[in-house]
Amino acid sequence: GEDVEQSLFLSVREGDSSVINCTYTDSSSTYLYWYKQEPGAGLQLLTYIFSNMDMKQDQRLTVLLNKKDKHLSLRIADTQTGDSAIYFCAESIRRSQGNLIFGKGTKLSVKP
């Protein structure tokens, strides 16, 4: 089956690291994505990782993939108030004719 799970809320203090977790069920997923959505706006692609990779780092963002456990995480270093948003995990499955399967999103609140 196709399902992506995320916790709904995360609250951190400015300057701390944030870790947003995601689990997925389809082992045939080829690419996994992290999107950011600010209030009243569309989704912005933050980063992605190919399923044969364990880790990808891009400036303050680190993506970790545990394919055995079907677990994906996004770490944001030195979290800023501008990072407050909803973060969506998504998987790309060849069989599903082009559809990305999204989690319900994790709302990150950053306190000053």
Partner 1 sequence: DGGITQSPKYLFRKEGQNVTLSCEQNLNHDAMYWYRQDPGQGLRLIYYSQIVNDFQKGDIAEGYSVSREKKESFPLTVTSAQKNPTAFYLCASSAVPGQGAGTEAFFGQGTRLTVV
| Site residues, partner 1 (CB under 8 A) | 8, 30-31, 33, 35, 40-45, 48, 50, 88, 92-94, 96-100, 102-105
CB closer to partner 1 out of 53 and 64: 53
Q: How far is the CB of 16 from partner 1 (least distance, A)?
A: 25
Q: Are 40 and 56 in contact (CB under 8 A)?
A: no
Could you give the CA distance from residue 102 to residue 68 in angstroms, rounded to a whole number? 20
Could you give the CA distance from residue 68 to residue 101 in angstroms, rounded to a whole number? 19
Q: How far is the CB of 101 from partner 1 (least distance, A)?
A: 9
CB closer to partner 1 out of 82 and 112: 82
Q: How far is the CB of 18 from partner 1 (least distance, A)?
A: 19
Tell how far CA 48 is from the center of its chain: 9
Could you give the CA distance from residue 13 to residue 31 in angstroms, rounded to a whole number? 31
